Structure 1
Amino acid sequence: MTTPLFRDDAYMRDATGVVTGHTQEGGIVLDQTIFYPTGGGQPGDSGTLGWSGGALQIATAVKGQGDEVVLVPAEPRALPPIGTEVAQSLDWERRYAHMRVHTALHLLSVALPFGVTGGSIGAGRGRLDFDMADAPDDRDGIEAALNGFVSDDTRVSAEWITEADLASNPSLVKTLSVKPPRGTGRVRLIRIGTGAETVDLQPCGGTHVARTGEIGALRIGKIEKKGRMNRRVYLHLQS
């Protein structure tokens, strides 16, 4: 098992860890990590590992067996032996851009209240696919609503509910093709806003900014037709 430090503190840029295993493909498993593994449309983190006598560039992180997170080196190199304490350091600029885009896409699902059939997060832009027959005819209005959420500088927080609670509140799940992982007894929710002023609440295991104001100005990009009932909407960070 790898303790996911990123889940409790998405702003942790550096941490130590102990090597608990290697994969046949040359990956590294630690007892705890700040590296987010690819999942939910969010890319795995990149960065560096350092230890006494060695260092590695980490190209990405992926999910391994069970609750393990596997760090994938950028090139074949000698791995730190099992039991070695290593220093982890994120490519913070890239991770923080993912956090901004991820939270912005949650806001896009509010501005366009349709079922979500897919999505992808990048460092400068992201996109959601919506179960909708026609492209939205008020791009300016959608963009204004998104930037209004950003200007409000609303709090973003995480909380947990039981799987039974989620089953009794199916409207929390906006994604039509991907369901929240089950089997642990609880599900993580991301809330934008507080109490009666909640803007959005949905299951999510990814990393997010702490306040919407951190996202910065947003721009609606290309809108593509991907099927009879599918529209792909791109969202860009302005800076």
Structure 2
Amino acid sequence: MPTELLFRDDAYEPGCEARVLAAGPEGVVLDRTVFYPRAGGQPGDTGTLRWPGGSLAVADTLKGPDDTVLHLPDGGPGDGALPPPGTMVEAVLDWPRRHRLMRMHTALHLLCSLLPGVGVTGGQIGTEKSRLDFDLAGAALPEKEALAAAINALVAADHPVTEGWISEAELDANPGLVRTLSVQPPRGAGRIRLVRIGDGMPPVDLQPCGGTHVRATGEIGPVTIGKIESKGKANRRVHLALAD
């Protein structure tokens, strides 16, 4: 039985009630969850599972087999008491951490929008700093100060951030929507989730993404551009951080 991904419908839901489907050394599987499993450069969520007579700190969340989600106990799989299958638990996110990752993830989409047509070869989202790697073969990277001014202007404009779905056939007809060269959108479900920033035509940014985001760019807050590193003949790594 697959885990229902509640964060797909509402990334702002901080917790939920769920039933334990399985619990073992590999982690705890629930029938539904607000916890995002590590994927696409976004870390897995942390938090707590609570049930009558027990609780468990969740140190990480991973994708499991057959479209399930594994909630890993603090200290590693198999550490501490586990809720038996069938137990009803309250799954509660470390919300401040999740919200900061949402702000970071949306900020990276804005950074990506400032280099239209440039492929992204890698990326990592963190609570303190994040990065994107760009394939700049035949293109120039703006100066750090110009990038900082441009991304903060997009933040201040408070553009709406929304999600939608297209079919795999529609994505095949619009391959330019995919900016990441190293990671392709997951296939097999028949549809692809799109994250859209801005309500104009064209939007500020539009690309496939399964991660969690804030509702508007103003929620990100001021962004700082850190060092820009050379990672090969054409690759440049751009670091960013939130000001608070």
Same fold (TM over 0.5): yes
- Does the alignment pair 1:70 with 2:75? no
Cα distance in structure 1, aligned partners of 2:7 and 2:224: 28
**How far off its partner does 1:197 sit?**
5.4
* Segment of structure 1 superposing worse, 110-119 or 153-162: 110-119
Would you say the 8 A contact 1:135–1:223 is kept in 2? no
- Could you report, residue by residue, the CA deviation over 1:212-231 in whole angstroms, capped at 9, with x for unpaired residues? 00000011101111111111
2:112 alignment counterpart: 109
Aligned to 1:2: 3
**Do the aligned partners of 2:223 and 2:240 also contact (CA within 8 Å) in 1?**
yes
Deviation string 1:174-217 (CA, Å, 9 cap, x unpaired) is: 00111100011000000001142511100000000000000000
1:43 Cα deviation after fit:
0.2
TM-score, normalised relative to structure 2: 0.95
8 Å Cα contact 1:117/1:131 also seen in 2: yes
Partner of 1:196, secondary structure, is coil
Partner letter of residue 45 of structure 1?
Answer: D
Flag the 1:197–1:131 CA change in 2: closer, same or farther, 3 A: closer
Partner residue of 1:171?
176
Of residues 127, 131, 134, the one that matches 2:135 is 131
Unmatched runs of 5 consecutive residues or more in structure 1? none
Deviates more, 1:193-202 or 1:63-72: 193-202
In structure 1, how many angstroms separate the alpha carbons of the residues matched to 2:36 and 2:129? 18
| Greater CA drift, 33-42 or 75-84 | 75-84
1:27 corresponding residue in structure 2? 27
* % identity of equivalent residues: 56
Q: 1:86 aligns with which of 85, 89, 101?
A: 89
Judge conservation of contact 2:59–2:74 (CA < 8 Å) in 1.
yes
Match of 2:53 in 1: 53
Contact 1:50 1:86 in 2 (8 A): yes
Say if 1:111 and 1:36 are closer, same or farther in 2 by CA, change over 3 A: same
**Structure 2 contact 132–237 (Cα < 8 Å) conserved:** yes
Aligned-partner Cα distance in 2 for 1:212–1:205: 18
1:86–1:156: structure 2 CA closer, same or farther, 3 Å change rule? same
The residue type paired with residue 150 of structure 1 is V
**TM-score, length of structure 1 as denominator length:** 0.97
Cα distance in 2 for partners of 1:101, 1:205 equals 14
RMSD over aligned CA atoms reads 1.2
Partner of 1:42: 42
Write the distance in 2 (CA, Å) between the matches of 1:115 and 1:137.
15
Partner SS state of residue 97, structure 1: helix
User: Residue 122 of structure 1: SS of its match in structure 2?
Assistant: coil
Looking at structure 2, the residues matched to 123 and 159 of structure 1 have their Cα atoms a distance apart, in angstroms, of 26
Q: Structure 1: which 4+ aligned runs deviate by more than 3 Å?
A: none
